[in-house]
């Protein structure tokens, strides 16, 4: 497997998620802004993307739209990781092409289910 890309403007969140992914021997790279994520995506293709919705400037929905329209990246599983637990946010994410939505704080059991659904483990 290549790597997981974790896009979130909160460094603590990215650090915790990366540590959790390491439990399944999944290497992960943080991107603390959509701009940093675009730089990584411009040169590398992750196996899976974990994406926060609420970030300053470009939000996660815009990043998701970019991933889904870019042929090289369109089939990558995208897991939305958000503190927004509103049903309409989850529905929008799924309608726009997310593989799954995880509500923060991320629990290991939920992460494992999502990784299996995305065929990463």
Q: Could you tell me which residues come within 8 angstroms of residue 3 by beta carbon, excluding any fewer than 6 positions away?
A: 26, 27, 28, 29, 44, 46, 47
What class does CATH assign to 4-117? alpha beta
Average pLDDT over every residue of 21-36: 96
Task: Say if residue 27's pLDDT is above 80.
Answer: yes
Cα gap 88→17, rounded to integer Å: 24
Q: Could you tell me which residues come within 8 angstroms of residue 83 by beta carbon, excluding any fewer than 6 positions away?
A: 54, 103, 104
Task: Say if residue 1's pLDDT is above 80.
Answer: no
User: What are the sequence ranges of the domains in the chain?
Assistant: 4-117
pLDDT grade, residue 2 (50/70/90)?
confident
pLDDT digits (tens, 9 = 90+) for 36-64: 999 999 999 999 999 999 998 889 999 99
Give the sign of the dihedral formed by CA 88, CA 94, CA 96, CA 102. positive
Average pLDDT over every residue of 18-31: 96
pLDDT digits (tens, 9 = 90+) for 77-115: 999 999 999 999 999 999 999 999 999 999 999 999 999
The answer to whether the beta carbons of residues 118 and 89 sit under 8 Å apart is no
């Amino acid at each position: 497997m290549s790597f997981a890309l974790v896009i979130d403007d909160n460094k603590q969140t990215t650090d915790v998620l990366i540590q959790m992914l390491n439990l399944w021997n999944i290497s992960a790279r943080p991107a603390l802004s959509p701009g940093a994520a675009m730089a990584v995506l411009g040169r590398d293709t992750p196996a899976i993307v974990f994406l926060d919705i609420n970030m300053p400037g470009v939000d996660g929905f815009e990043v998701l739209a970019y991933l889904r329209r870019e042929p090289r990246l369109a089939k990558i599983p995208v897991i939305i990781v958000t503190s927004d637990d509103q049903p309409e946010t989850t529905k929008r994410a799924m309608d726009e092409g997310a593989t799954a939505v995880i509500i923060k704080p991320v629990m290991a059991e939920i992460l494992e289910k999502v990784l299996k659904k995305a065929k990463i483990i």
